[in-house]
Structure 1
Amino acid sequence: MDTAEIIVTLTGLALVAFVVWYFFFSARQTASAVSSSSGVQEVDITVKGGYSPDVIEVERGKPVQLSFYRDEENSCSEEVLFPDFSIRRDLPAFKTTLVELLPDKPGRFEFTCGMGMLRGSLVVK
């Protein structure tokens, strides 16, 4: 192996390590739902290259209203899926879309974009 091949190999390994760290080990932004006067748990989520916050904590048995504001036109973020709740919603660019659900059991429930690249979690306590 000559010097150029070693540099290319090391650069490739570094990029792979970064991708693994970013998707599996980087810090996640967590938010707890705020209950309104009507008892609905509300959370605002910004969609721009990901979900912010991407971990949402709610209480079991109380209705949840998630407000997704899509701040981009990237085709990957055109919809959000909550497979455990059988929910699929289109997210128009630069608009807010409400997703309402009633978590009836505790656990961690994933939500993703339509392509499965953007990920978040709903943690029901």
Structure 2
Amino acid sequence: MIQMNWFVTVVGLLLIGVIAWYFWGPKKGGSLAETNASGFQEAKILVKNGYNPSRIVVQSGKPVRFEFTRIETGACDGMVIFPGFEKSATLPAGEKVIVDLPPMKTGSYDFTCQMGMFRGKIIVKN
């Protein structure tokens, strides 16, 4: 019986590690925002089981416009928060929501849902 307790404990800890890695682990790649005629760098973000894409690459010194479309109706994904800009937006299900951000300096800026489970990153390059 003691061996079974150890086995269950080890499997449980492994599952916790996998879940933590899935939600908070490092993400690679990114989607390059496109510049439109008005000078905004634009990216469309689908909100379904997280942000897709969750990493957006933009150029420094140009304003950014995100178009969020929320597909699901979970409690966590009803709002997006940009802590570095003290800005947030409510995301009604099935509607497109535009969020404009000012020109940024080189670096990275996070955005999350209100519970911090869904995470995204804006990577600003020269």
Tell me, yes or no, whether TM beats 0.5: yes
Aligned to 2:31: 31
Aligned to 2:49: 49
The Cα of 1:95 is off from its aligned counterpart by 1.0
3-state SS of paired residue (1:49): coil
Q: Distance in 1 between matches of 2:84 and 2:26?
A: 25
CA gap 1:24/1:88 in 2 versus in 1, 3 angstroms = closer
Aligned to 2:84: 84
Instruction: Map 1:1-125 onto structure 2 (within 5 A).
Output: 2-25=2-25, 27-125=27-125
CA gap 1:34/1:54 in 2 versus in 1, 3 angstroms = same
2:88 partner amino acid: R
The Cα of 1:27 is off from its aligned counterpart by 4.1
CA gap 1:116/1:101 in 2 versus in 1, 3 angstroms = same
Q: Percent identity?
A: 42
Q: Distance in 1 between matches of 2:25 and 2:76?
A: 22
Q: Distance in 1 between matches of 2:77 and 2:84?
A: 19
Assess if the C-alpha contact under 8 Å between 1:28 and 1:54 holds in 2.
Answer: no
TM-score, normalised with respect to structure 1: 0.91
CA gap 1:26/1:75 in 2 versus in 1, 3 angstroms = same
3-state SS of paired residue (1:73): coil
Q: Distance in 2 between matches of 1:97 and 1:28?
A: 26
Unaligned runs of at least 5 residues, structure 2: none
Over 3 Å off, 4+ runs: 24-29
Assess if the C-alpha contact under 8 Å between 1:80 and 1:113 holds in 2.
Answer: yes
The Cα of 1:20 is off from its aligned counterpart by 3.0
Q: Distance in 2 between matches of 1:59 and 1:102?
A: 12
Assess if the C-alpha contact under 8 Å between 1:29 and 1:52 holds in 2.
Answer: no
Alignment size in residue pairs: 125
